[in-house]
């Protein structure tokens, strides 16, 4: 490029496009303003003050100095580079005063939706256009911006929010015309690349703002681009469909997710459902973190006649698709329905699958609301079956909160009950209610763990070592990160593979961030480290002392870390008892029978309520760390944390990889990691140890 332009015009091009890495170096630096030197040098900053006035203001003298190189740049780009460099051209045209010459060429080279976006920019000054171009970063015109804060900034710029709605209306009208036969159908030709990018920006803004007009417009557009108007297996625009999916991933709403599911169902292209399924895996967790909209998720209940039978999707507990003939529930799909309505059966199964995912998303959103500084819009859930299994608090008078089961008290502030805000007596009473009613709560609430700041943590200042130095299965840890909404880079033996793999989770609406440090120990293993917290202040993260962290933010983050260690520690794997390095064997023995973390203390409380209702109650005793079971051959101590077993009188280790007994099938108030059921099943097995026939166990009992 520089070979065709003067040095100053070439430098201007490099700054506008972000090619220049050192914007302070100019061939004739005195001729340019400090404001313009900032072009291309950093990322867009969203703050209360207009960044234009700080970084991009040009005084009149500097502007006049730039007219000649800008005009040279415009004349260089106009002949055959308009399609590839539209926004660079718009910035240069704004500096040169050549908007009238540039606009017709833009209209010749780009589709109407892209031109409509450019018309908005033509109403801006050169500085504002430059910031828009910078917001695109190093991406081409054909890609949507990925910098954080761009949709927020764009939505506040003159005319752009109006353009967003216009763009989607134009796109919807074009797709409707294609399906009506008014525009000839050509696969993947409904929109050009520039229009695809503009539509992506428009959708992001509308989703971010949760615009009330968006659901209807977006649904029509998504359905329209997902299937050809003919019997062909092609699409009017696969690129627009995936661009919308990427936008939904960044700013999900229940309605947008439903539209994408509809597109998945109706498309005839074999690869599109697979790609959308990959995106749904990221979209659903993102929706759970967006509390202001997540509670609009439909409950998923369906009751529908299919021939002479009725299909029912119930969501009162576990989501279930059942089939009925009159008042009789059938075990399987009726043969007549399978034969006569195969597509309807397929659709209902897909609806049940979506309802299960919605329930997972909703439960995550409800839990995330605990750490917020203000209560999310829980009233949106009135009538939803999930609310009947949760304990709520209602502010019946200023500062006075009353706990009730279900959303029963109207027209007053409401929040989810948390044991950290209750007395010991109240917590005990609610646990009795849940146990007595055999109430399966959607997440652990009555039996929820509480994590209070310890004196050692207060003394440490800004970090906690409570869960440090645990050896864990790294892949299982990564899987739990994803399940609980933590982000981390995958670590491994490659260049940079050991850098910054720490797990992080945003809490309190993104105002707090918890970090679990960890590092690789050996192939497949990692070692946990410190937990620390950062607060979002003035657009950046600042390390906070633990005493600054809100109590529920601290408790909920530490609860996750406790779960990570409890589920992924190698102490759960009996193979480490006698194998591996000495250090790991020492860790296994210490961790397998050590003091209980809060999660195991709650398990002990649940067992104390459960064990008295079982047939083996007279053979069981609960101590500080163990469920002690008296068998006919030996007495056994089952650790309430690891579920590992010691045998009296000499505390010999008893290896039982798993145990299942039909007598152990009783109601459990929670089952987050499977440990409670495992401990009970081992207790039932060992209480009747004389009947054990497994030689791998009997050999140990006789030793």
Burial profile 496-517: b = 16 or more Cβ within 10 angstroms, e = fewer? eeeeebbbbbbbbbebbbbbbe
DSSP calls for 265-298: HH---SHHHHHHHHHHHHHHHHHHT-HHHHTT--
Q: CA–CA separation, 376 vs 293, rounded Å? A: 9
Q: Which of 133-147, 479-493, 555-569 has the lowest mean pLDDT?
A: 133-147
What CATH architecture applies to the domain 455-568? Answer: 2-Layer Sandwich (3.30)
Q: CA–CA separation, 137 vs 44, rounded Å? A: 9
Q: What is the pLDDT of residue 252?
A: 95
Cα-based distances in Å from 365 to 51, 190, 253, 294, 510: 34, 37, 13, 7, 13
Please report where in the chains the tokens 């943590």 appear, as a residue.
457
**What confidence tens digit (pLDDT) does each residue in 411-452 have?**
999 999 999 999 999 999 999 999 989 898 999 999 999 999
Instruction: State the angle between helix axes of 160-179 and 193-209 in degrees (0 to 180), rounded to the nearest 10.
Output: 120
Continuous segment of H or E residues that includes residue 304: strand 302-306
523 burial via Cβ count (<10 Å: 0-12, 13-18, 19+): exposed
**What confidence tens digit (pLDDT) does each residue in 70-82 have?**
888 888 888 888 8
Q: CA–CA separation, 167 vs 213, rounded Å? A: 13
Q: 44 falls in which pLDDT band (50, 70, 90)? A: very low
Q: What is the separation of C-alpha 5 from the centre of its chain, rounded to a whole number of angstroms?
A: 48
User: In 3-state terms, what secondary structure has residue 494?
Assistant: coil
Could you list the beta-strand ranges (E) of 342-470: 391-397, 400-405, 414-416
Asked whether 402 and 394 are in contact (CB, 8 A), the reply is yes
The pLDDT of 523-546, averaged and rounded, is 90
Tokens matching residue 362: 């909703």
**What confidence tens digit (pLDDT) does each residue in 377-419 have?**
999 999 899 999 999 999 999 999 999 999 999 999 999 999 9
Instruction: Count how many Cα atoms sit within 13 Å of the Cα of residue 186 in the half-sphere of its side chain.
Output: 6
Q: 185 falls in which pLDDT band (50, 70, 90)? A: very high
60 burial via Cβ count (<10 Å: 0-12, 13-18, 19+): exposed
Asked whether 542 and 535 are in contact (CB, 8 A), the reply is yes
Q: 349 falls in which pLDDT band (50, 70, 90)? A: very high
Q: CA–CA separation, 90 vs 98, rounded Å? A: 9
Model confidence, pTM: 0.79
Q: What is the pLDDT of residue 111?
A: 95
Q: CA–CA separation, 646 vs 631, rounded Å? A: 13
Beta carbons within 10 angstroms of residue 181's beta carbon = 10
Q: CA–CA separation, 503 vs 501, rounded Å? A: 7
Tell me which DSSP letter residue 597 carries: P
Tabulate helix, strand, coil % of the chain (nearest 5): 50, 15, 35
The proportion of the chain whose per-residue pLDDT surpasses 70, expressed as a percent, equals 88
The pLDDT of 503-511, averaged and rounded, is 90
Please report where in the chains the tokens 């009783």 appear, as a residue.
666
Q: What is the pLDDT of residue 419?
A: 95
Looking only at the bridges linking them, the beta strands covering 620-622 and 525-537 are unpaired
Q: CA–CA separation, 482 vs 378, rounded Å? A: 25
Q: Where are the domains of the chain?
A: 1-137, 142-288, 302-368, 373-436, 455-568, 589-702
User: In 3-state terms, what secondary structure has residue 42?
Assistant: coil
Top-confidence residue, 375 or 554 = 554
């Amino acid at each position: 490029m520089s070979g065709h332009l003067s040095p100053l015009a070439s430098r201007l091009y490099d700054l506008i496009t972000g090619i220049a890495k050192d914007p302070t170096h100019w061939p004739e630096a005195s001729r340019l303003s400090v404001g313009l030197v900032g072009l291309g040098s950093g990322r867009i900053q969203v703050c209360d003050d207009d960044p234009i006035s700080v970084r991009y203001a040009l005084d009149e003298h500097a502007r006049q100095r730039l007219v000649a190189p800008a005009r040279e740049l415009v004349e260089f780009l106009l002949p055959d580079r308009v399609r590839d460099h539209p926004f660079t051209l718009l910035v240069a045209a704004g500096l040169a005063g050549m908007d009238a010459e540039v606009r017709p060429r833009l209209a010749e080279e780009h589709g109407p939706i892209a031109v409509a976006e450019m018309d908005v920019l033509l109403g801006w000054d050169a500085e504002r256009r430059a910031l828009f171009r910078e917001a695109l970063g190093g991406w081409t015109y054909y890609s949507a911006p990925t910098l954080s804060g761009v949709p927020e900034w764009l939505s506040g710029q003159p005319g752009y929010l109006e353009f967003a709605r216009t763009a989607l209306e134009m796109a919807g009208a074009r797709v409707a015309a294609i399906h009506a036969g008014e525009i000839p159908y050509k696969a993947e030709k409904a929109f050009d690349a520039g229009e695809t990018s503009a539509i992506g920006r428009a959708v992001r803004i509308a989703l971010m703002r949760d615009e009330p007009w968006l659901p209807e417009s977006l649904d029509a557009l998504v359905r329209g681009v997902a299937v050809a108007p003919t019997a062909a297996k092609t699409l009017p625009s696969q690129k627009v469909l995936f661009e919308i999916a990427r936008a939904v991933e960044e700013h999900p709403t229940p309605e947008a997710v439903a539209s994408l599911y509809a597109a998945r169902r109706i498309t005839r292209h074999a690869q599109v459902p697979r790609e959308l399924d990959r995106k749904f895996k990221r979209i659903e967790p993102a929706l759970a973190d967006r509390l202001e909209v997540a509670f609009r998720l439909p409950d998923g209940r369906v009751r529908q006649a299919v021939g002479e039978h009725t299909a029912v999707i119930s969501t009162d507990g576990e989501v279930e698709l059942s089939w009925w003939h009159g008042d009789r529930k059938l075990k399987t799909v009726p043969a007549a329905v399978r034969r006569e309505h195969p597509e309807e059966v397929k659709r209902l199964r897909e609806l049940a699958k979506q309802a299960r995912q919605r329930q997972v998303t909703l439960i995550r959103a409800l839990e995330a609301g605990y750490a917020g500084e203000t209560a999310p819009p829980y009233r949106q859930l009135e009538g939803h079956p999930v609310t009947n299994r949760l304990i709520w608090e209602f502010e019946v008078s200023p500062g006075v909160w009353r706990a009730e089961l279900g959303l029963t008290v109207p027209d007053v502030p409401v929040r989810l009950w948390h044991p950290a805000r209750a007395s010991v007596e109240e917590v005990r009473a609610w646990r009795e209610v849940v146990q007595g009613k055999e109430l399966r709560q959607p997440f652990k609430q009555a039996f929820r763990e509480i994590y209070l700041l310890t004196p050692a943590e207060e003394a440490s200042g800004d970090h906690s070592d409570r869960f440090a130095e645990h050896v864990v299965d790294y892949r299982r840890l990564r899987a739990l990160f994803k399940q609980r909404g933590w982000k981390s880079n995958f670590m491994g033996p490659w260049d940079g593979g050991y850098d910054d793999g720490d797990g992080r989770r945003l809490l309190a609406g993104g105002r707090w961030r918890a970090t679990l440090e960890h590092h690789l120990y050996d192939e497949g293993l990692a070692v946990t480290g410190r937990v620390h917290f950062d607060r979002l202040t003035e657009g950046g993260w600042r390390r906070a002392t633990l005493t600054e962290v809100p109590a529920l933010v601290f408790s909920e983050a530490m609860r996750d870390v406790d779960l990570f260690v409890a589920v992924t520690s190698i102490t759960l794997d009996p193979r480490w008892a006698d194998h591996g390095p000495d250090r790991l064997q020492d860790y296994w023995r210490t961790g397998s029978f050590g003091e209980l973390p809060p999660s195991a203390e709650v398990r002990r409380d649940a067992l104390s309520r459960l064990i008295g209702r079982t047939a083996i109650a007279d053979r069981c005793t609960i101590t500080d760390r163990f469920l002690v079971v008296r068998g006919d051959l030996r007495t056994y101590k089952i650790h309430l944390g690891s579920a590992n077993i010691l045998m009296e009188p000499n505390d010999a280790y008893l290896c039982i990889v798993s145990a299942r007994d039909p007598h152990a099938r009783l109601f459990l108030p929670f089952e987050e990691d499977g440990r409670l059921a495992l401990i009970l099943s081992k207790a039932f097995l060992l209480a009747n140890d004389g009947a054990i026939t497994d030689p791998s166990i009997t050999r140990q009992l006789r030793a």
